[in-house]
Structure 1
Amino acid sequence: MIKLKSHDRYDYTAITARSDYSWPGGKRLAVYIGLNLEHFAFGEGLGAELAPGGPQPDILNYAWRDYGNRVGAWRMLEMFDAMNLPASVLANSAMYDYAPDLMAAFSARGDEIVGHGRTNSERQSALSPADEEALIVEATEVLTKAEEKAPKGWLSPWIAESPVTPDLLKKTGYDYTLNWCMDDQPIWMRTAHGPLLSIPYPQEANDIPSIVARKDGAAAFADILIDTFDEMLEQSKSEPLVMGIALHPYLVGQPYRLRHLRRALTHICRCRDDIWITQAGSIYDVFPKKVDA
């Protein structure tokens, strides 16, 4: 029988055949917002596009992305405050130099700051192991100094991993990763330096694949969030689940998309008494630590 190449980070288990547990307060569905705060190099590197980019410097797409930091993220912060919603802020370390007041505003709310590389203008998967480790260490040191505590979690820019990324994250002191979207429950992964928790981070309830890749409209993306929530709330009667909501201010911070996002979040908040609205780091804190990895 053919033996396929494997990552060997986790074993297959059906979600219907695992040990049962509940989230704090006996809740069955945990919901968290993953808000990406990103900065991009001008005239070079990677970046999502509103329209096909021309020769560099690509003013249209650079300025469109920068709208998220200058306007969109502030509107989203106002909305989160009004709705009493916490967030896990997935932050490029370059944001502390570029928009320190924005980072301070989210930190002042008590939002969790999650490592998200140095900038989304690069992919760590393209680096040597030594250079990738240096990237992770550099980004971590910036966040640790600014927040006066080390981040617990990491999301790679562009979800880019090398074969050793989980090992390097655990070696650097990370407790969890958001890179793997294979499950609706947290899963312990094996690394060379001990277990690393994979917390579900969505690629469907995520505005980049939806709006940028599939060209979904604002109403359609809001409906994706609502339908995902309603279905997972029903499914969670059988198994405890995690629903992440992945957002980028240069996308959903645009006025017409923000209005539809507010509609979706309002729908979710109506069920506040039945769900655990939380942060990714809090999911790590309460998840059972007894592991076989």
Structure 2
Amino acid sequence: MPPRPMHAHGRYDYSALPDRLVFDWPGGHRLAVYVALNVETFRFGSGEGAALAPKPAGLDVLNHGWRDWGNRVGVWRLRDLADELSLPLAVLLNSDVYEDCPGLAEAFRARGDEIVGHGRTNAERQGDLDEAGERALIREASEAYRRHEGRLPGGWLGPWISESPTTPDLLEEEGYRYLLDWCHDDQPVAMRTRSGSGILSIPYSHEINDIPTVTTRLASAEAFADMIVAEFDERLAASVKAPSVMSVALHPYIVGQPHRLRALRRALWHITEHRDRIWLTRPGEIAQAFAAL
């Protein structure tokens, strides 16, 4: 083997899509689709957080209240929409939600939705910590999941998709089977870890994601819905040649807003209308199916 380039991270090797083996997902389908609902909590008066408006010099009541609305109102409207469409969800849950929003996690657990690790709070970035501090963050969140869910989640998405050079190693050592941070492929990718056991990367979209689309690119609700539909239609057609994973990443304080919810309903309805041609699932089930190939 030639020496690895100095700029390479060493987690996985290059693989061209046309060179890969073609396989089917469960049910004989080639397109797996999952909806990721990010349920997050934020510290009042400090820390990170998506912004509706520039952060003021004093207490940031405006932006904190906007995000808190998502957990008090928006998330419940999205739950109702998921019930209406018989749509399975992956709930990417900050562990602080158990304390900050009693009853919220329980409502999605009752639906049979998958709880995915998402750190303690989105007011912090784990990649800013040293290894001991990051390990403590992962361990604290993991203990909360074990306590409330009865087991460790299968997967993890870092708050703000923030990673350190050792994040995959720490997650694998804690017992996680997959992560969502590396949005580098349309198929799951086995990643190396320092223990030799490895961890699976499951696709999670930066593009079909309401935070960058709505808050950064300032797209309208209709434009975001059109993106979801176009992404789905193109992936479904392309899946004849190569199996694929499509994710739709949502945040209650953004798409739970009524004027965006109506457009989102149209897009998700379009996906569910094709449920006989796709595998409508959750990332943990994707990880399990891929590992069994």
Q: Is the 8 A contact 1:114 1:151 kept in 2?
A: yes
- 1:78-137, Cα deviation, whole Å (9 max, x unpaired): 010111001010000000001121111001100000000000000001101001001001
Structure-2 residue corresponding to 1:261: 264
By how many angstroms is 1:6 displaced? 1.2
1:217 and 2:220 aligned: yes
Q: Does residue 207 of the first structure (1) align with residue 210 of the second (2)?
A: yes
Distance of 1:235 and 1:181 partners within structure 2: 19
1:289, CA displacement in angstroms?
4.6
Equivalent in the alignment of 1:36: 38
State the secondary structure of the residue aligned to 1:122. coil
Q: 2:284, 2:239 → 1: CA distance?
A: 20
- Does residue 235 (structure 1) correspond to residue 235 (structure 2)? The answer is no
The alpha-carbon deviation at position 4 of structure 1 amounts to 3.9
Structure 2 residue 55 is matched with structure 1 residue 53: yes
Task: Please state how far the C-alpha of 1:2 moved relative to its aligned partner.
Answer: 11
Matched, 1:81 2:83: yes
Letter in 2 for 1:117: G
- What secondary structure does 1:274 align onto? coil
Partner of 1:275: 278
Which position in structure 2 is the counterpart of 1:165? 167
Corresponding residue SS for 2:37: strand
Deviations 1:161-188, CA, capped at 9 Å, x for gaps = 0000000000000000000010000000
* Contact residue 34 and residue 245 of structure 1 kept, 8 A: yes
- In 2, distance between residues paired with 1:95 and 1:280? 21
- Quick one: which amino acid aligns to residue 130 of structure 1? A
Contact 1:44 1:56 in 2 (8 A): no
The one-letter code matched in structure 2 to 1:56 is G
Q: Measure how far apart 1:41 and its partner are.
A: 0.2
TM-score, normalising length: structure 1: 0.97
Q: Which secondary structure state, in structure 2, belongs to the residue aligned with residue 273 of structure 1?
A: coil
User: What corresponds to 2:14 in structure 1?
Assistant: 12
Distance 1:195 1:55 in 2: 45
Aligned to 2:26: 24
SS for the counterpart of 1:287 is: helix
1:176 is matched by which residue type in structure 2? Y
C-alpha separation in 1, matches of 2:291 and 2:181: 20
Distance 2:102 2:14 in 1: 43
Residue 285 (structure 1) aligns with = 288
Uncovered stretches (5+) of structure 2, i.e. residues with no partner: none
Letter of the 1:21 counterpart: F
Q: Is the contact made by 1:107 and 1:113 (CA closer than 8 Å) also made in structure 2?
A: yes
Partner Cα separation in structure 2 for residue 73 and residue 174 of structure 1 = 26
Q: Distance in 2 between matches of 1:288 and 1:41?
A: 38
Q: RMSD of the alignment, in Å?
A: 1.2
Separation in 1 of the partners of 2:266 and 2:126?
A: 36
Aligned pairs (5 A) from 1:179-198 = 179-193=181-195, 194-198=197-201
- C-alpha displacement of 1:15: 1.2
Displacement, 1:243? 0.1
Question: Number of residues paired by the alignment?
Answer: 290
1:103 to 97, 102, 105: 105
Distance, in Å, in 2 between the alignment partners of 1:25 and 1:200 is 20
Q: Distance in 2 between matches of 1:2 and 1:91?
A: 37
What secondary structure does 1:50 align onto? coil
Give the drift of 1:288: 3.2
Match of 2:130 in 1: 128
User: CA–CA distance in 2 between the matches of 1:131 and 1:182?
Assistant: 27
Distance 1:152 1:233 in 2: 27
Q: Which residue of 2 aligns with 1:113?
A: 115
State the match for 1:138 in structure 2. Answer: 140
